[in-house]
Amino acid sequence: MAAQKTDVRTPAELRSAVDPAVLEAQGLNSIQVAERQRLQLANVQPHTTSRSIAEILRTHLMTLFNLIIGVCALVIVILGRWLDLLFAVAAVANVVIGLIQEYSAKRKLDAIALLHQDSITVLRDGMLVEIHREQIVLDDVVELRRGDQVPADGVVISSSGLDVDESMLTGESDPVPKRRDDIVLSGTAVLAGTGRFVVSAVGDDAHAVKLATEAKRYQKINSELRRALEKVAFWLSLVLLPITAIVFNGQMQAFGGWSHAWASGQWREAMVTAVSSVTAMIPQGLALMTTIAFAVAALRLAQDKVLIQEQPAVEILARVDVVCLDKTGTLTDGTIAFHGAAPLDSRGLPAVQHRDPSSTALEGTEPWQQVLAWFGADLHANPTAAALQVPFTALPRHHAAYQVQFSSARRWSAVTFADDAGELAGHWILGAPDILQSPHVAPQAEVDRLLGHTEATAAQGLRTMVLAHAPLEGPILDGASGPLGRGERLPDGLMPVTLLTFKENVRSDARSTLEYFSAQNVALKVISGDSPRTVSAVAREVGMRVDGDGVDASRLPEDPEAMRSALATHSVFGRVSPEQKRTMVEALKANGHVVAMTGDGINDALALKRADLGIAMGNGAPATKAVSRMVLLDGRFDRLPKVLAEGRKVIANTERVAHLFLTKTAYAIVLGLFFGLMFWQFPFLPRQFSTVDFLMIGCPAFFLALMPNTRRYRPGFLRRSVLFSIPASVAICLAVIAVSAAGRHFQEPAAGVQTASTLCLTLVGLWVLNVALRPLTTPRMILLASMYLLLAAALLVPISQQYHLFAMPSAELLAVAFVAAMVGSGLIELGHRWHDRKVDLDPLDPVEPVEPAPAAARPDRR
């Protein structure tokens, strides 16, 4: 039997097979819809990120450190030494926390949806039906009404005053009128009017989905702490395997050589001591303490309505030196506020400016005030007209006879009151000042003067509207033949009555927060899709110094060098496209800056993703919040100083903790190499080394990571930590080697040498802790004293002696241990002073203010 031929047509062939006239009148029929669904031409969005669960597991589990810890743990289990397994706890905890954190990030990325998942109306088989937006197919005719979100890309086929808000895609706050053959993009919203469009792109090809796909690409956060830990891990990975071989061979030789150790069974003890040496070299607790510090900071900030979506984001803000601000939603709250109303005199110029909403001049004593109250109370008022509802509350006692809703294509709305309305009778037009250029307006000289005044007002960043009046002429309700026609033309005899000004509501917290960042030497860049003149006015209102009217980014060349030059010399940019926002962030990063980006619209999503720290407002677009590292849930910009304080604390305290852990890693490597090459028995059991770690590092590090610390960020975290650990580890190694050599000289049993070595190591290690804790405040002194008490308990309490296999050393060896500890502590003190001179540190960390100070007390910009 011959194979049946399958008819597979391309989207272009499907479209050409549909009669455009039939499509506009009837929509697709059920057969055409089924064919497109079979060809997978439906509006289905992808729901996965580029990083699978298997990849996440492999990233966190398949590391050299985990392999070595796992092998060492397996050896201990096989040998039945379960009490020596404490070293594996930190490694397991670090893996679990890392898996949970990244899986949570993956779920957030998978949840990105630029389109609300409500139903949409389509025309099919001549009938309007409601379907889920993912059931839309290519060539569907979609009907749009006020408040709808455009579900897919398409071409308009009919429009009745259709205005679309594209600010979430472009940043431009003005509504965009859509007429026949215009393009509409997914992710935009309908502000006014109705219309229909034919779907031209669905699923992965839709504009919103392309943005989402770009935003959902996994990108590891740029954390200096993490980079430092990864660098340490890299270098340790290179040396750990050969060092492990040297250590194990040395321990076998210390127990009489390979043959004797295998024959006598002492290879078991050699294996345990080798495991003790190797596991001490791995600073797995450092990563754990860093993660805990991040997690606690995130919990504290959550109480202040700041959501940290990736824990290292707390650290990033403390390192930021450039903050890029989107105007709408960050400096402003996205709403329009009434600014002023001025009646016009006989020359067409404002006579008196009324700005106070409580003024008697706004109580409704004048007809124009009552008309403005009517416009503000209209259920279909656009955001600008709705702002009139606050200052104008006295509604007319007469009902409107006729009205025309606002359309951005006409740029005006209108209401008509009949003859019986007295002074209100006539046509009232509320619109942009350029409607006065119509031939229906007279006299033109007054109009020219008024337009000149509105241009000067707009230069201040204010939006202007004009209320005009025309007398009644003929019938007012006869549709096409009436003075307003069908809302497409203005009446004759139109005279301007009042000039209105509006502005965007500036956040009350914006000025103080920006001044705080300036005082902290953080550069500010305002990047917006709105007009440069409007952006400059808002920037000046929040206290920024702006030269001219800002930079029109639409005129900037695409050359990266030109972009970098413009960013270096200017602070305010308007008409910035979403791609340009991303390019600007990348240019600043290329110049060596650590960049934070704030925003709330979809047009900000790509820039937030590229920034070192993306900060979204709580009322922003879902995609913007999903790709950001941090969300200000209540939209309060003044939360950021608190985040800065937490970031400083994490960095400064983690540096202190790193001093301890890297010192431990350094002395463990040196001791392992020394005892392995000298064929001496390693003087610690794993359980003993675990207790030393707990007293010297583990317990103190937990408290140290959470203590208050407001030292300003200074780059070079890893360098300072390494320079600190070198002299400290040398002093510790000399002290422990001296005790071990004395034990061999006095022919002490292994248990006695181990006890004396544990005592010496802990005493010197606690002096390292002493140095790291400085300045020694009362809480830090209590912590240090507690560790000394725990050391005494570990050595003297019988049950602890049994657990640790301690045995009291001879008086001679005990004296050597104390002397070695004192000498080692002295060497550490000298090394600490050398370290401070080497890295030019003040031993007393300066305490910087972390909350915005009153204006008079703020420090000068430096």
Q: Which residues are catalytic?
A: 326
Is residue 729 classed exposed, middle or buried when 0-12, 13-18 and 19+ CB atoms within 10 A define those classes? buried
Enumerate residues 6+ apart whose C-beta is below 8 A from 600: 326, 328, 329, 330, 334, 616, 617, 619, 620, 621, 624
Query: What phi and psi values does residue 453 have, to the nearest 5 degrees?
Result: -65, -40
Enumerate residues 6+ apart whose C-beta is below 8 A from 287: 94, 229
Tokens 């540096």 -> residue? 655
Is residue 24 classed exposed, middle or buried when 0-12, 13-18 and 19+ CB atoms within 10 A define those classes? middle
Single out the residue of 250, 242, 115, 253 nearest to residue 188, CA to CA. Answer: 115
CA gap 793, 323 in Å, rounded: 52
Residue 234 structure tokens:
């890299």
Residue 504 pairs with which residues in a beta bridge?
336
473 to each of 401, 431, 476, how far by Cα in Å?
14, 21, 8
Q: Is 428 helix (H, G, I), strand (E, B) or coil?
A: strand
CA gap 665, 279 in Å, rounded: 9
CA gap 390, 239 in Å, rounded: 72
The rounded Cα 674 to chain-centroid distance in angstroms is 48
Enumerate residues 6+ apart whose C-beta is below 8 A from 730: 670, 827, 831
Enumerate residues 6+ apart whose C-beta is below 8 A from 474: 481, 482, 483
CA gap 275, 260 in Å, rounded: 20
Enumerate residues 6+ apart whose C-beta is below 8 A from 21: none
Residue 298 structure tokens:
């995130």
Is residue 31 classed exposed, middle or buried when 0-12, 13-18 and 19+ CB atoms within 10 A define those classes? exposed
- DSSP letter assigned to residue 474: S
Side-chain half-sphere CA neighbours of 295 within 13 A: 12
Query: What phi and psi values does residue 194 have, to the nearest 5 degrees?
Result: -135, 170
The rounded Cα 54 to chain-centroid distance in angstroms is 26
Single out the residue of 731, 741, 693 nearest to residue 822, CA to CA. Answer: 731
Let me know: does 520 contact 850? Beta carbons within 8 Å: no
Residue 483 structure tokens:
């003075």
